[in-house]
Each structure stands twice: as C-alpha cells, then as structure tokens.
Structure 1
Amino acid sequence: MTLRHGAFSYLPDLTDSEIAAQVRYALLNGWPVSIEYTDDPHPRNVYWEMWGLPLFDLDEPDGVVAEINECRKTFPNHYIRVLAYDANLGRQTTALSFLVQRPAHEPGFLLTRTEGADRRQSYSIQSYATTKPEGERYA
C-alpha cells in the first residue's frame, strides 16, 4: 500500500511528461509552483522542507521539471511534491498538490487505539518511518 497524498494519489505514479503537463496547467492558470520534500509522511505534517524558492513568472514547465530532477538527485529516498498556489482570493491558497516521488519502500503507519473515560476510544497514527532518526528513515 502506498501513501495517498494530494491530487492523483490513487493513480499510478506520474511520468515526467505527465508531471510536465500538470505543471503546464498550473502555469497557464497563473499559479506559482514550488517543490517540497520530506521523510516524515504523516498526514498532519503539512510543513515539508522547501526546495529553493517558489517558481514565479514561468511560461514553460521545463524549469520546474529540471528543479524536480535536482531535488530527486539530492533526496532519492524522500517524498517530493509539487504545489501550485492561487492568490486570487488575496491569500496564498493551494490550488494543486501532487507527489512526484516516493521512496521505493514505504513502511506504512501504526494505528493505536486508547480507551478513555466512559468507554471513549481515541485513535492515533504514527509512521513506522519515524521510529528511525531523521535522515535514516528510508535508508
């Protein structure tokens, strides 16, 4: 089972030409694009590390795809995603987000159930990857 995150998450991994087509769509809508990476894929971890600065004023996706490939070379065992931002509402809003790389092995998540007062049950999830220190999670 693979991590389901962002648009297209239930499709097979996108090829570079499909990634370029999605980036072109974002650029045609006037959305700046950024690239982010992480080794902690927890669903509530919304603060991924940013690869460089957001890419503004591009007409073609070639520059974005080149940056994606550089990020892939630097972090071959991390999750990498592309985000497109829409500022039409006067604030930064994510219009499109999708994964462009995932580790070859995804260890999954641990679901923990805790019983509380009045037989209330609460659940929490933890990525098995986070049992190792940062930088060694997908080695």
Structure 2
Amino acid sequence: MKLRQGQFSFLPDLSDDDIRVQAQYAIGNGWAVSVEYTDDPHPWDTYWEMWGHPMLDNPDAAVVFQVNECRKEHGGKYIRVIAFGASPGWESVSMSVIVNRPASEPGFGMVRQEGEGRSIRYTIESHTMREPAGARYA
C-alpha cells in the first residue's frame, strides 16, 4: 500500500528535477525549506526527524543535495521536503512532498475495541509498530 500524504502523493515518485522545481517554487514564495525523515509516517505524526537545518535562502540545488545526502543515510525510510510559510496569519507548513519511500510499505490497519454495553471504538494502527524503532525498514 503506497502512503498518501502531502502533495503529489497520488502521482509517480518525483525525480531530482521535479524536486528542484518544487523547491524553487517554495523559495520563490519566500518559504523556508527543510528535509525530514521517519520510519513511522502515521497520519497524526506531523513531526518527523529533521535532516540538517532549515534552508532559508539556499538555491534549489542545495535542497536536492540535502535530499540525496539524507538518502545515503536513511534511504530505506520515508523522506519528505517541507516548506514553512511565515506570512502573518499562516505560520504553518505550506508544502509537503514525500521524495523517498521504503521498498515495502506495510500501511495501516483498523483496530476494533469493544467497550461496555454496545460501544465500539476504532483506532488506526501503523503496521510498522510491530517492529522496534530503527528496525522497521532497511
């Protein structure tokens, strides 16, 4: 199951040139660009591990360089490029693009919990949680 988070998640994986174009768009809008990675991309987990420092005025080529450096060390994990917009009233992530995925994506499952009476509660469980942190992907 392919994880569908952020922009372009229903399209084929982005090439380095595609990443460069998206980074240039973010930089052109005055957004700070950052590279992040994780081995558990739960939909509610918005905080991933940051790779390096946020790039404020770097050219788009620096973003692709940082993505490739992150791939060398964390190539078997999810890697994304995010852009942070600091315009008044919108101090938040303005763009999020997954640029690297593990070879196998186990996905998520629904867990049913029955309570007192007829109450039923459903929660989402990541299949990666079956393995300890650091051993979930290659």
TM-score, normalisation: structure 2: 0.94
Residue 118 of structure 1 deviates from its aligned partner by: 4.8
Tell me whether 61-70 or 81-90 shows the greater mean CA deviation.
81-90
Q: Deviations over 1:82-124 (max 9, x none)?
A: 1101101166311101100010101111211123345232211
AA at the equivalent of 1:122:
R
Counterpart Cα distance in 2 of 1:87 and 1:71: 25
User: 1:11 corresponds to which residue?
Assistant: 11
User: 1:36 corresponds to which residue?
Assistant: 36
User: 2:94 corresponds to which residue?
Assistant: 95
* Gap runs ≥5 in structure 2: none
AA at the equivalent of 2:32:
P
AA at the equivalent of 1:135:
G
Counterpart Cα distance in 1 of 2:75 and 2:129: 17
User: 2:104 corresponds to which residue?
Assistant: 105
AA at the equivalent of 2:55:
L
Q: In structure 1, the residue corresponding to 2:9 is in which secondary structure?
A: coil
5 Å-filtered alignment, 1:20-59, equals: 20-58=20-58
User: 1:120 corresponds to which residue?
Assistant: 119
Counterpart Cα distance in 2 of 1:91 and 1:9: 23
Q: Deviations over 1:30-50 (max 9, x none)?
A: 111001000011111111100
Counterpart Cα distance in 1 of 2:136 and 2:104: 10
Q: In structure 2, the residue corresponding to 1:92 is in which secondary structure?
A: strand
Q: Once superposed, which parts of structure 1, at least 4 consecutive aligned residues long, lie more than 3 Å away?
A: none
* Gap runs ≥5 in structure 1: none
Q: RMSD over aligned Cα, in angstroms?
A: 1.3
Tell me whether 108-117 or 75-84 shows the greater mean CA deviation.
108-117
